[in-house]
Amino acid sequence: MPSDAALTTALSRVRDPELDEPITELGFVSELRVDGGRVDVRLRLPTYFCAPNFAYLMVADARAELAAVPGVERVHVALEDHFASDEINGGVDDDRDFATTFPGEVVGDLTELRSIFDRKAFVVRQERLCQALITGGRRAEELPGMRLGELPAIPETTDYLERRTRLGLDVSPQAALLLRPNGEPIDANDAPRQLRFARTVRVSIEGNADLCRGLLRTRYDLEEMPP
């Protein structure tokens, strides 16, 4: 039988696609039950009208991550209190994609949407890493010339390299630190502008995450939320 710890770790790999935070830290997992090899999970979101495409991605990703845990034989992930709960839950259970689940309402799958948010998360994680490097003693002017092999072993480095790998970008030690999401290096002249833009994206995402936590806490009358 899979352990609660292994299942929680699997769920922590599922992120809100817009906020780039684990659903476990956002408080979106309301219930986790294990019965032998069967796992049942319930997810909740901050509002009744949260975007169904985002919700679908999180439900589908949670199911996939849990199914990959050794000892898991059957997984059921249920989204609760959402206007499209029935459609999303049924679509994921039946292994249907989003377009098939909502026929006539969307064109194609969610691959491009996921890619957009992966690139957005890359920009934010790069900015966070740069701020951590500056706090650690690096000068801003040094950053455009830095290589990945020079990065310290800090959480921001790990997060950045994970998203860089996910986008298929060069993660070799000699690769340039500062890149655009398409892999194009950012030169010294453009670096300040690019990092200022990235900072606005980060502040926006962090503000939305705080708002979502507040809405979830109010909606479900929660006294405590994950940090």
Task: Please report the pLDDT score of residue 84 as a whole number.
Answer: 97
Residue by residue, pLDDT tens for the chain (227 residues) are 899 999 999 999 999 999 999 999 999 999 999 999 999 999 999 999 999 999 999 999 999 999 999 999 999 999 999 999 999 999 999 999 998 999 877 666 788 889 999 999 999 999 999 999 999 999 999 999 999 999 999 999 999 999 999 999 999 999 999 999 999 999 999 999 999 999 999 999 999 999 999 999 999 999 865 54
Q: Which domains does the chain have, with CATH numbers?
A: 4-109 (3.30.300.130), 112-213 (no CATH)
The whole-angstrom separation of Cα 16 and Cα 18 is 6
The encoded tokens of residue 51 equal 């975007």
Task: Please report the pLDDT score of residue 166 as a whole number.
Answer: 94
Return the closest-CA partner of residue 124 out of 151, 154, 164, 175.
164
Task: Please report the pLDDT score of residue 225 as a whole number.
Answer: 59
Strand 74-79 and strand 29-35: the pairing is: unpaired
The answer to whether the CB of 93 falls within 8 A of the CB of 76 is: yes
The whole-angstrom separation of Cα 187 and Cα 194 is 10
Task: Please report the pLDDT score of residue 106 as a whole number.
Answer: 67
The whole-angstrom separation of Cα 83 and Cα 99 is 17
Which amino acid makes up residue 27? G
Identify any residues that bridge with 19 across adjacent strands, giving them in sequence order.
none
Task: Please report the pLDDT score of residue 107 as a whole number.
Answer: 62
Which amino acid makes up residue 170? D
This prediction's pTM: 0.91
